[in-house]
Chains A and B, each alone.
Chain A
Amino acid sequence: MKPIGEPYRFQGASKYVLDDELAKIVNVSMALEMPLLLKGEPGTGKTMLAYAIAESLAMPLIVLNVKSSMKLLDALYQYDTLTRLNDSRFGDSKRDVSNIEEYIRMGKIGQAFVSDCRTVLLIDEIDKADTDFQDDMLDVLDQMQFDIMEIDKTVTAKNRPVIIITSNAKKDLSDPFLGRCNFHHIAFPDPEMMRMILNVHFPDLSEELARASLHTFYRLREFRGIEKKPATRELINWVRALQSDPDFAVKTLENGEIPYLGVLFKKSLDLNLALQQAGRARK
């Protein structure tokens, strides 16, 4: 570890708008060498943050997409028995069949450990896995090492990765898990912040379109009964759709008409509700 105040200091990347608060938390977590757990509504940029950190720190990013059926071992390493069986029967590879180590493949966490440079390790949607997975994983991340049973070898991290963990769950994770993480909850961006996000994605966005689309967007989020509210990603796609439509004029939005609702609402039930409520608002 380099001493504090070294060049690893996170300030936000080109496509990610970072608020000060978040930047501070990332820095503190890096200094304390603790994983940072990010929670927040979908579309608040949890996953994007890890990409942005990797970009601004110029470190490679390793993404572990957690799945419900995942075992911790899958994330650490895999012993490729099938290839070994194949090699032993047909023997047409250059691998040494008697050397098991040649058949060990690193999982995502393993890759982050053996990497020659410091990496950003994103563990995405941890809430999908069961509690045992979560706790065991933190043991590994705490000690920065794990054993490969088959060859009785311990893998120790060459460089401690910057660990970002995301969770969509509203339910809390287990206490031991939380105890070992720093925690931050990303609130849904307010209009002002969202404006900055739009500016990053559309540098030449006209003032009036930005205002009108944001106004409409936040109004849409207030619609009742919507199961999946449109989030940042939907807004960006929507603005892109508006921009690319030659027939579109900002006036349309100001008149209360909303084109391309389907871009914003992904569920048919939501879309129907939104159409109804948008129609009512116009009258």
Chain B
Amino acid sequence: MFVQFFYMLRERGVPVTPTSFLRLQKALSLGVIGSIDDFYTAARSILVKSERYFDTYDQVFAHYFRGATISEMGDVELTDIAKALLEEWLKHPQEMAEALGLDEEQLSRYTPEELIRYFLDRLKEQKEAHHGGNRWIGTGGTSPVGHSGDHPGGMRVGGTSRNKSAVKVAMERRYRDYSQEGPLTEIQMSEALKRLRRMIPHGARDVVNVDKTIYETMRNGGEISIVFDRRLSDRLKVILMIDNGGWSMDPYIGIVQTLFNYARSQFKDLKIYYFHNTLYSSVWLDPQRHLRPEAIEEFTRRDPETRLIIAGDAAMAPYELMGANGAIYVGRKDSQSSEERLKFLARTFRHAVWLNPQTESSWGYTWTIGAIWKIFPMFELTLDGLEKAVQHLMKRH
């Protein structure tokens, strides 16, 4: 029974195992599932093993048992809107500008991310005002915004409902916040970064090595001989470089702040530097990027085992990256292009990653992202991306 349901879940990317499906059949035959509501909860607890897939499960369930199309017009996913929006933008920039109440020239200066953000802000205003606004946005309905909210790590705006039919509950998409693409919270970050450590014996010999003690005692003919070892402690050195300049990073301040806070409390030997867009001859120790510069060349003196993490959207004008004098600051002369500087850092620190707060699917839109990607392994600043980045940083080269 419900074989099609099973395959639909799999198609939508929920890792459902045949074993668990058989288990569901067993539950059905045991008679513990008496209604569609029971089925909704029971099947979810048996088939779906992570809250990240609850949202997808809800969608498939609603579709299967009510025949609701997976993305109905009133319930279009934000990402879909965003995608459509971008396509529209490329085809008819003028119409788009009109719809958003901007002039075409203004619009052309926006990056895709900013455009989406602007669009979402409009949607929100509209929701608060409770009147139609212009029709183009109106078709998107208020429900996407109403449901997903916009505060990082926040919960659903509406309340969890009781005494509703399972299909209705599923349609509510209560678990949208938990789906894989959700924003990172500090707890999640700490989970992902926990493995980023390098345990090295350090300090006084004050830990008894039981195995060696037994061995030595035996060798001594039973006379007890205790062997002490140094304690293992985390001696990992981390350099974190944060792009804190310019409006293109503005939407991501929250998430980078979280990364920053976490890193500061977690890593004992951590240096944080700031830059704007990309690296030129120096980076700064102060967030204003003014008082305490440190020349890139100086980094050769650091321990090459240091883990280098660069966080930035890597989005800029191509000449900023490639030109020998590309810095957007007036009066600063550079002998090398930023690209050269980045390559230099990548050579200096073999364990280095670039964390990009933009979603991987949008990287293709920006030329400079691709160029930097070739120099540093780039990962999304999401739970999955962070885990991959940590794996990469801990790899033995």
Asked if residues A170 and B30 are in contact (CB atoms below 8 Å), the reply is no
Partner of A182 from the list B33, B45, B54 (CB cut-off 8 Å) is B45
Given A4-B32, A34-B23, A170-B188, answer yes or no on A179-B49 (Cβ-Cβ < 8 Å). Answer: yes
Q: Is the CB of B31 within 8 A of A5?
A: yes
Closest to A21 in B: B41
Which residue in A21, A28, A192, A227 is a CB contact (below 8 Å) of B186? Answer: A227
Smallest CB separation, B187 vs chain A (Å): 6
How far is B153's CA from A227's CA once the two chains are assembled, in angstroms?
11
Known: A19-B162, A179-B19, A185-B178. A31 touches B46 (CB 8 A): no
B151 touches A222 (CB 8 A): yes
The docked-state distance in angstroms from the alpha carbon of A34 to that of B17 is: 16
For the complex, what is the distance from the CA of A25 to the CA of B38, rounded to whole Å?
Answer: 9
A183 touches B41 (CB 8 A): no
For the complex, what is the distance from the CA of A51 to the CA of B132, rounded to whole Å?
Answer: 51
> Does A191 have its Cβ within 8 Å of any Cβ on chain B?
yes
| B 28-57 binary contact with A (CB < 8 Å = 1; else 0) | 001111000110011001101111101000
A78 to B26 alpha-carbon distance, docked (Å): 37
Q: Does B246 contact A (CB under 8 A)?
A: no
With A28-B27, A31-B30, A182-B45: A192-B159 Cβ-Cβ less than 8 Å: yes
Q: Which of A211-241 contact B (CB under 8 A)?
A: 222, 225, 227
CB-CB under 8 A from B257, the residues of chain A are: 225
The interface bits of chain B over 5-27 (1 if a CB of A lies within 8 angstroms of the residue's CB, else 0) are 00000000001010110010011
**Bound-state Cα–Cα, A184 to B30, Å:** 20
Out of A25, A37, A225, name the residue touching B41 (CB < 8 Å): A25
Number of interface residues of A (CB under 8 A): 38
Give the nearest-CB partner of A172 in chain B. B50
**In the complex, A21 Cα to B45 Cα: how many Å?**
10
| Nearest chain A CB to B264 CB, angstrom units | 11
Q: Is A204 an interface residue (CB 8 A)?
A: no
Q: Are B32 and A27 in contact (CB under 8 A)?
A: yes
Which of A4, A170, A181 has the largest count of B CB atoms less than 10 A from its CB? A170
Interface residue B155 (Cβ < 8 Å from any Cβ of A): yes
Contact with A along B149-179 (1 / 0, CB 8 A): 0010011000110100000000000110010
**B360 at interface, CB cutoff 8 A:** no
CB distance from B360 to the nearest CB of A (A): 20
Contacting residue for B155 out of A37, A175, A188, CB 8 A: A188
A 154-185 to B, binary, CB cutoff 8 A, 1 in contact else 0: 00000000000000011110010011011111
B20 and A179 within 8 A (CB): yes
Distance in Å from the Cβ of A259 to the closest Cβ of chain B? 25
For the residues of B in contact with A, the DSSP-based class is helix
Residues of A within 8 A of B49 (CB): 37, 172, 178-179, 181, 183
Q: Contact check, A191 vs B191: say whether CB atoms are below 8 A apart.
A: no
- Which of A21, A185, A190 makes the CB contact (< 8 A) with B51? A185
Interface of A is mostly: mixed
B383 on the interface (CB 8 Å rule)?
Answer: yes
> In whole angstroms, what is the CA distance A255 to B261 when docked?
33
A222 to B75 CA separation, bound complex (whole angstroms): 26
Asked if A24 and B38 make an inter-chain contact with CB atoms under 8 angstroms apart, the answer reads yes
Measured between beta carbons, the chain B residues less than 8 angstroms from A27 are 32
Chain A residues whose CB sits within 8 angstroms of the CB of B160 once the complex forms:
19, 187, 189-190, 192-193
Residue of A nearest to B154 (CB): A222
List A32-48 residues whose CB lies under 8 Å from chain B: 32, 34, 36-37, 39
Chain B residues near A37 (CB, 8 Å)? 49
B144 CB to nearest chain A CB (Å): 20
Contacts of A183 in B (CB 8 A): 45, 48-50
User: Measured between alpha carbons, how far is A185 from B57 in the docked complex, in Å?
Assistant: 13
CB of A234 to closest CB in B, whole Å: 16
- Write the chain B residue with the least CB distance to A173: B49
Q: Min CB distance, A221 to chain B, in Å?
A: 8
> Are B191's CB and A171's CB within 8 A?
yes
Contact of A24 among B19, B42, B178 (CB under 8 A): B42
| CB closest residue in chain A, given B152 | A224
Report chain A residues within 8 Å CB of B240. Answer: none
- Chain B residues with CB under 8 Å of A184's CB are 45
Residues of B near A181 (CB, < 8 A) are 49
CA distance A181 to B49 in the complex (A): 8
Do the beta carbons of A32 and B23 come within 8 Å of each other? Answer: yes
Q: Which residues of A contact B154 (CB under 8 A)?
A: 222
In the complex, A227 Cα to B27 Cα: how many Å? 41
Which of B23, B174, B383 makes the CB contact (< 8 A) with A170? B383
CA distance A32 to B31 in the complex (A): 11
In the bound complex, how far is the Cα of B317 from the Cα of A153, in angstroms?
72
User: A39 and B162: CB pair below 8 A?
Assistant: no
Interface check A20, CB cutoff 8 A: yes
Complex-state Cα separation, A188 to B37, whole angstroms: 21
Residue of B nearest to A9 (CB): B32
Which residues in B have their C-beta under 8 angstroms from that of A182?
A: 45-46
Task: Jot down 20 A-B pairs with beta carbons below 8 A, ordered by A.
Answer: A19-B160, A24-B38, A24-B41, A24-B42, A25-B42, A25-B45, A27-B32, A28-B33, A28-B41, A28-B45, A31-B32, A171-B188, A171-B383, A172-B49, A175-B15, A183-B45, A183-B49, A183-B50, A187-B155, A187-B160
A positions within 8 Å CB-CB of B: 4-5, 19-21, 24-25, 27-29, 31-32, 34, 36-37, 39, 169-172, 175, 178-179, 181-185, 187-193, 222, 225, 227
Known: A32-B30, A171-B188. 16 other contacts (CB 8 A): A20-B37, A20-B162, A24-B42, A25-B41, A32-B27, A32-B32, A32-B46, A36-B45, A37-B49, A170-B185, A170-B383, A171-B387, A181-B49, A189-B160, A222-B151, A227-B186
